């Protein structure tokens, strides 16, 4: 990746005086990736020159491999300064990255932070990776129902001046025990009489429960809520209904992107983390493993074909048509698998409520099976002037598409039930299944009809 000279000049100005020559963290991250691909030593000497006030967001923009290099180079004092400039959710992410590499260094980083920052990070670290609380920001702008609008706006001005709050567009209104009652947009507050108290402002309105996220619920459920209600933010409450944080749309976008990337790589049988870090040896090993598994399954399908050697010799058209049956089954499987894995990831389908989804896939498979059985059967009869060949491929198409639809929904559900990744394992199992069933049904039916 060639470094643009103008971009290089902008970055050099940023290093000399970042306040007067600001750069967006994503732009800096892109430059550093380019720098690493051209000169790793220069990358290392450059990363330590970045002012700690700006370093945190830049580190989060780097891919895992470069982030690890940077964390190894930087002292725990520098990392602590960088962490202190981040919002609580991003600060926790950075500390977690350090902890994954060096637990003792992570503790040194946390110990260097102010008590307030330390408490926030420790609070977020208590949540598991799948809980919504792990991606929330603890920083919220809230007001008691007994506060006046003037009190709240004055406090907001002080918090903004001290840079305690960023991207605030609403105030969450709580009672004396911090239980969330309602919210109000900042644009609404500035049009009100400043002496009005919030308990008067919120009469007749309550915060909708369906737009509130529980801190211990699954992240996938929070994602679904953002999608269903087109949310740009959501307050996070604990089991008692107390306000503990907020989730913003950028957090959700990151989650969706990570899920989509992981699914895409897993369905292709490659390791997303290894691919993104671009470590050639590890990429080779991971890809070779799944290619070897596919080779074994291909040999299995070939052994099935070998059992019908006499039939194929007697009827050459069968060899011509045979790949069509396997291809139709494979494509039908990919369709069903993609839909099922996505629904499982978003929490729309699990083992307990799977029947409607499986029934839908079976019905669709039968419809498609009969449609393409007619098309392939008629085409084969016109092509080879033999209605028995047309009947054989038609019946085999129905059987294979039915198998593809049924097991394309069932296999990932089974794998998830037994704690295995449905995206990775399903592809290999289903490819083998549709190939073997496709060849077996087509050649078996043809042998019965033609010999």
Please choose, from the candidates 331, 338, 335, the residue with its C-alpha nearest in 3D space to the C-alpha of residue 263: 338
pLDDT over 90 at 55, yes or no: yes
Among 50-54, 237-241, 261-265, 359-363, the range scoring the smallest mean pLDDT is 261-265
280 class by beta-carbon count within 10 Å (0-12 exposed, 13-18 middle, 19+ buried):
exposed
Check pLDDT > 70 for residue 424: no
What would the mean pLDDT of 294-303 be, rounded to a whole number? 83
The bridge status of strand 142-144 relative to strand 180-185 is unpaired
CATH topology of domain 142-248: CBS-domain (3.10.580)
Q: Are 169 and 220 in contact, with CB atoms under 8 Å apart?
A: no
**DSSP symbols for 294-355:** HHHHHHHHHHHHHTTHHHHHH-HHHHHHHHHHHHHHHHHHHHHHHHHHHHHHTTS--GGG-H
Q: What confidence score (pLDDT) does residue 399 get?
A: 95
- Interval 335-353: pLDDT, tens: 888 888 778 766 678 787 8
Q: Are 77 and 52 in contact (CB under 8 A)?
A: no
Tokens of 301: 């399908």
- Parse the chain into domains and list their residue ranges: 5-127, 142-248, 268-450
Contacts of 238 (CB under 8 A, 6+ apart): 214, 215, 216, 244
Question: Taking residues 27-47, what's their average pLDDT?
Answer: 88
Residue pLDDT, tens place only, 67-108 = 989 999 999 999 999 999 898 989 999 999 899 888 899 999
* 5-127 classified as CATH 2.70.98.10: no
β 213-214/180-185 pair status: unpaired
Tokens in use for 208?
A: 């909708």
Over range 42-48, report the average pLDDT. 91
268-450: CATH topology? Tetracycline Repressor; domain 2 (1.10.357)
- Measured CA to CA, the distance from residue 174 to residue 343 in angstroms comes to 35
Instruction: Write the pLDDT tens digit of every residue in 99-158.
Output: 988 889 999 999 999 998 999 999 999 999 889 999 999 988 899 999 998 998 888 888
* Residue ranges with strand state E in 88-207: 142-144, 170-174, 180-185
Name the pLDDT band for 416 (thresholds 50, 70, 90). confident
> No. of H helices and E strands in the chain?
21, 6
Rounded Cα gap, residues 314 and 316, in angstroms: 6
């Amino acid at each position: 990746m060639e470094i643009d000279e103008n971009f290089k000049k902008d970055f050099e100005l940023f290093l000399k005086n970042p306040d007067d020559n600001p750069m967006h963290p994503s732009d800096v991250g892109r430059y550093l990736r380019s720098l690493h691909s051209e000169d790793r030593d220069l990358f290392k000497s450059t990363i330590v020159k970045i002012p700690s006030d700006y370093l945190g967001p830049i580190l989060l923009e780097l891919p895992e491999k470069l982030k690890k290099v940077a964390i190894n180079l930087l002292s725990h004092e520098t990392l602590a300064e960088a962490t202190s400039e981040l919002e609580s959710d991003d600060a926790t992410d950075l500390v977690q990255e350090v902890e994954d590499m060096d637990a003792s260094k992570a503790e040194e980083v946390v110990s260097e932070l102010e008590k307030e920052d330390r408490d926030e990070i420790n609070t977020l670290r208590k949540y598991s990776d799948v809980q919504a609380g792990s991606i929330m920001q603890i920083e919220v702008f809230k007001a008691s129902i007994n506060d006046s609008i003037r009190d709240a706006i004055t406090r907001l001005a002080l918090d903004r001046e001290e840079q305690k709050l960023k991207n605030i567009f609403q105030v969450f209104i709580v009672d004396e025990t911090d239980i969330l009652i309602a919210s109000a947009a900042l644009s609404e507050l500035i049009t009100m009489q400043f002496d009005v108290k919030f308990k008067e402002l919120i009469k007749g309105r309550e915060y909708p429960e369906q737009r509130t996220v529980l801190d211990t619920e699954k992240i996938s459920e929070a994602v679904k809520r953002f999608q269903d209600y087109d949310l740009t933010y959501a307050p996070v409450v604990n089991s008692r209904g107390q306000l503990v944080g907020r989730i913003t749309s950028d957090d959700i976008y990151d989650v969706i992107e990570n899920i989509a990337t992981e699914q895409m790589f897993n369905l292709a049988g490659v390791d997303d983390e290894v691919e993104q870090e671009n470590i050639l040896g590890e990429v080779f090993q991971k890809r070779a493993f799944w290619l070897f598994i596919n080779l074994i399954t291909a040999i299995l399908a070939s052994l099935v074909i070998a059992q019908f050697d006499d039939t194929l010799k007697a009827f050459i058209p069968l060899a011509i048509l045979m790949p069509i049956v396997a291809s139709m089954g494979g494509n039908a499987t990919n369709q069903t698998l993609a839909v099922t894995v996505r629904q499982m990831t978003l929490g729309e389908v699990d083992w307990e409520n799977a029947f409607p989804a499986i029934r839908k896939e079976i019905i669709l498979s039968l419809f498609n099976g009969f449609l393409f059985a007619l098309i392939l059967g008629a085409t084969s009869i016109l092509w080879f002037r033999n209605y028995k060949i047309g009947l054989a491929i038609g019946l085999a198409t129905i059987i294979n598409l039915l198998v593809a639809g049924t097991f394309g929904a069932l296999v990932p559900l089974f794998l998830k039930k037994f704690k295995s990744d449905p995206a990775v394992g399903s592809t290999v199992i289903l490819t083998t299944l549709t190939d073997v069933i496709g060849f077996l049904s087509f050649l078996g039916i043809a042998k019965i009809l033609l010999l």
